Structure 1
Amino acid sequence: MCTREFWLMCNTFNMHFLRLQVMLSVMIACSRGLSLSELPHEVDGKHNEHYDHEVFLGKDNAAEFEQLTEEESKRRLGLIVDKIDKDDDDKVSEVELADWIWYIRTSFVANDTNQIWIQLDHEDGQLTWENYLRKTFGHYHENPESPHSPLYKYRARVKEEKRRWGLADLNSDSVLTKTEFMYFVHPEESKHTKDVIVLEYSEKLDRNGDGKIDIEEFVMDINSHDPRTQTQQWKDLRRQEFGQRDKNKNGVLDFEEMKEWISPENYNPAKAEAHHLINHADTDKDGVLTKAEIINSFNLFVGSQALDYGDVLKKHDEF
């Protein structure tokens, strides 16, 4: 049905869309106070190493990472600690750790944006909507809603992407620069685009299309590939959480209540993750971490955003 080149572009687009879904999951998990995964850091008062390993390795990369010995991974972790310790006092403060996490986060956004950007047909550093559609869907059509349009079966996704495009287009000239494209790919990175994440997730949950999320729609937000989200215990917890999120107690979640859940104004995920790591690894409870404390908590840190889910251990040139 399509050429090899288009198949590759289709695959790129699917990966792009998957990354957006992953980022959304991260933001939602953070806003729930569950760090970077919907799995809790603790189960029955005990640290959940399954959470750390799943976030660090990823299901697809687990086999690759297993090629590193624990000794080599710890050696590389020690080198990273030296980079985090900016003032060279042999201690990692919460601020230093949060700064490192934020550095890893921004590096990921920049690299991810660039990898997608270089595969698109842009001219003079600008990308048109028409070229974007052609490259990602294989077609361009002015009216995807028409049953005769080659984009008709993708119409919902095209509509969603068009809304993102308009918000990312800061000067409203109908084309995106690379910076604007970053906001399109990662709308969570800017105040003027991040509300679209709330809209997209709300629309995903809003099965009856009334613009609000009732308790049954909230409970039905499950991952069909994760049996843990399909248990009665999960549903009971979701009902309890709905009651907490429904601030005005009118039985539904409106946009502002959804926004407070997904993208709270004063929440800093880097600071929250740094606080979590120090809280668990700081054995002498002095509020900072030594290299020994970090390496002794190896299983905790390999599951942390501080190491970009383990990729940092494999990518740094100095290793």
Structure 2
Amino acid sequence: MSSGKLLLVLMMTATAMAGPSGVKDLSDQDHYKEGVHNSEYDHEAFLGKAEAKKFHDLPPEEARRRLGIIVDKIDTNKDGKVSTDELSAWISKVSKRYVWDDVNRMWDFHDTDHDGFVNLDEHKEVYGVVSDPEAIYDTNRQITYKQKIERDVRKFKGTDKNNDGRLSKEEFAGFLHPEAFLELRDVYINEIMEDMDKNKDGFVTMEEYVNDRWPVNNRPSSGEEPDWIKGDKEQFKSHRDKNHDGRLSREELANWMSPIDYDPAVAEARHLLSHADADKDGDLSRVEIMGNLDLFVGSQATEWGNFMTRHDEF
């Protein structure tokens, strides 16, 4: 295969095969530290992780001006208020920035006829000519090119919502990152189950679980278990294996990786509203948001104007 195609395949490997990650949190920060609220979590959730890291000192008026631009973006029905639904939709979009960065990075490699869609043949071309389909594609999980392509076909069909045999840009986002879309929960869980359930008995044993989290070929020669694996094994026993039969069913795996009753964007929106809704009317006015600069963006603000210029989808 060509060097360009090979590079893209390696990029896809790093993106799609990095291992299950469960519910995407909104921040690298802890929301509470020893019982004390940490506003840095809120800043990252509201602005996005990458942008929050670019905070620098700004005069208060400039910080408020930029926050005002954001408020106008969030208030989609232009009624002068920000509802919980509008705020959670904004936070969800911000948290998916990594998805759209991936989509934009890979789109032209896939949509080779530039018709605004990716069909299955275009996607398969990414792999180039595979002389040996039984050659290993992913060394950690021992998946061959044949298996990977078969999996991609299944995932393609699962994310082709209107069954027209091609993916729009939005559908392609789900193909690359089904974990980011609640409506693709089944697609995501099927992929994880296929990764982890090596003996194909419909369950994930402790050994399969550990081998997936800590691939054999990535272990040090001493073979000594790191502390995080010991912690993971304890989590398996005490929290993830609900019926304590020593293995995870598909339902138990799904409840761990993608709990259906928890949306971090909604939870954060409610949290922000509870702190800033001074008149307790269930919405946030511009005055209430602008009066809580530190809660939403801190005493510093990001280069948000540049971010919004680069990312029109927001």
Taking structure 1 as the reference length, what is the TM-score of the superposition? 0.64
Which of 147, 150, 157 is the matching residue for 2:148? Answer: 157
Q: Is the 8 A contact 1:29 1:37 kept in 2?
A: no
Question: Equivalent residue for 1:276?
Answer: 271
**Structure 2 runs not aligned, ≥5 long:** 137-142, 219-224
1:97 aligns with 2:92: no
The 5 A counterparts of 1:49-88 are: 56-58=48-50, 65=54, 68-71=56-59, 72-73=62-63, 75-85=65-75
The question of 1:116 aligning with 2:110 is answered no
> In structure 1, what is the Cα distance between the partners aligned to 2:210 and 2:29?
17
Output the CA distance in 1 between the equivalents of 2:49 and 2:162: 40
Question: What is the percent sequence identity of the aligned residues?
Answer: 31
Whole-angstrom distance in 2 between the partners of 1:70 and 1:274: 25
Number of corresponding residues? 284
Change (3 A) 1:127 1:302: farther
Equivalent in the alignment of 2:307: 315
AA partner of residue 168 (structure 1):
T
- Name the CA shift for 1:42/1:20 in 2 (closer, same or farther; >3 Å): farther
Indicate how the Cα distance of structure 1 residues 37 and 14 shifts in structure 2: closer, same or farther if over 3 A, else same.
farther
Matches of 2:7 and 2:41, distance apart in 1 = 28
Distance in 1 (alpha carbons) for counterparts of 2:49 and 2:246: 39
The 3 A distance-change label for structure 1 pair 99 and 170 is closer
Q: Letter of the aligned partner of 1:197 in structure 2? A: Y
Counterpart mapping for 1:124-143 below 5 A: 127-134=118-125, 136-140=126-130
Decide whether the 8 Å contact of 1:53 with 1:302 is kept in 2.
no
2:221 paired residue number: none
- SS of corresponding position for 2:68: helix
Question: In structure 2, what is the equivalent of residue 307 of structure 1?
Answer: none
Higher helix fraction (1 or 2):
1
Alignment of 1:1-319 (within 5 A): 2-3=2-3, 6=4, 9-20=5-16, 25=21, 28-30=22-24, 35-37=25-27, 40-48=30-38, 56-58=48-50, 65=54, 68-71=56-59, 72-73=62-63, 75-85=65-75, 92-104=82-94, 112-113=102-103, 115-120=105-110, 121-122=112-113, 127-134=118-125, 136-140=126-130, 144-145=133-134, 154-169=145-160, 175-178=165-168, 180-188=171-179, 189=181, 191=183, 193-206=184-197, 210-215=201-206, 217-218=208-209, 221=213, 230-231=226-227, 235-236=230-231, 239-240=234-235, 242-279=237-274, 281-282=275-276, 286=280, 288-289=283-284, 290-298=288-296, 313-317=305-309
Structure 1 unaligned blocks of 5 or more: 304-309
Aligned counterparts of 1:22 and 1:53: Cα–Cα separation in 2: 27
Q: 1:95, CA displacement in angstroms?
A: 2.7
Residues 277 and 301 of structure 1 are in contact (CA less than 8 Å); yes or no, is this contact kept in structure 2? no
CA RMSD of aligned residues (A): 4.6
User: If the length of structure 2 is used for normalisation, what is the TM-score?
Assistant: 0.65
Contact 1:109 1:186 in 2 (8 A): yes
Aligned-partner Cα distance in 2 for 1:264–1:219? 21
CA distance in 1, matches of 2:146, 2:190: 17
Q: What corresponds to 1:306 in structure 2? A: none
Over 3 Å counting, the alpha-carbon distance change for 1:242 and 1:313 in structure 2 is farther
